[in-house]
């Protein structure tokens, strides 16, 4: 599975902790992330992560393009709902693309854990059929 990781600044440390906790599961999949999120997670976990630009420089749009091409199977996007972001319309576009292409997406730690456990159980194996 191809898993994308994005985290707003206030949620980056939470993303790192999430990836440390589920490193065993994540290590069996292809990971990509926006720049600083990917760097922090890779340094903390040793996971191999394809890193794009930082979100504010277009990394989120690079991931959005991969979603539109059906190259992403799951998105974990830890958002900070309390602080408005100058590039928030990009966030909505990513979520819309996930809806259009039936990409499972988590926007907080609770749904992230549900998706990661489903991934481990094989609940998301249908993505292999959709992608091929």
Give the Cα separation of 34 and 61 in Å (integer): 9
DSSP classification of residue 85: -
| Residue of 9, 60, 99, 123 with catalytic role | 60
What 3-state DSSP class applies to 131? Answer: helix
State the Cα angle at 29 between 19 and 81, rounded to 5°: 45
Catalytic (active site) residue 60: yes
Give the Cα separation of 86 and 88 in Å (integer): 6
Q: Where are the beta strands (DSSP E) in the chain?
A: 2-7, 30-33, 49-51, 74-78, 105-106
Residues belonging to the active site: 60
């Amino acid at each position: 599975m191809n898993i994308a990781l994005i985290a707003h600044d206030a949620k980056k440390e939470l993303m790192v902790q999430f990836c440390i906790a589920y490193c065993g599961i994540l290590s069996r999949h292809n990971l990509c992330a926006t720049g600083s999120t990917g760097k922090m997670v890779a340094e903390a976990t040793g996971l191999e992560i394809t890193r794009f630009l930082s979100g504010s420089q277009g990394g989120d749009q690079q991931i959005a393009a991969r979603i539109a091409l059906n190259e992403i199977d799951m998105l974990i996007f830890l958002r900070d709902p309390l602080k408005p972001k100058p590039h928030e319309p990009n966030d909505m576009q990513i979520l819309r693309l996930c809806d259009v292409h039936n990409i499972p997406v988590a926007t907080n730690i609770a749904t992230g854990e549900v998706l990661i456990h489903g991934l481990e159980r094989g609940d998301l194996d249908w993505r292999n059929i959709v992608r091929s």
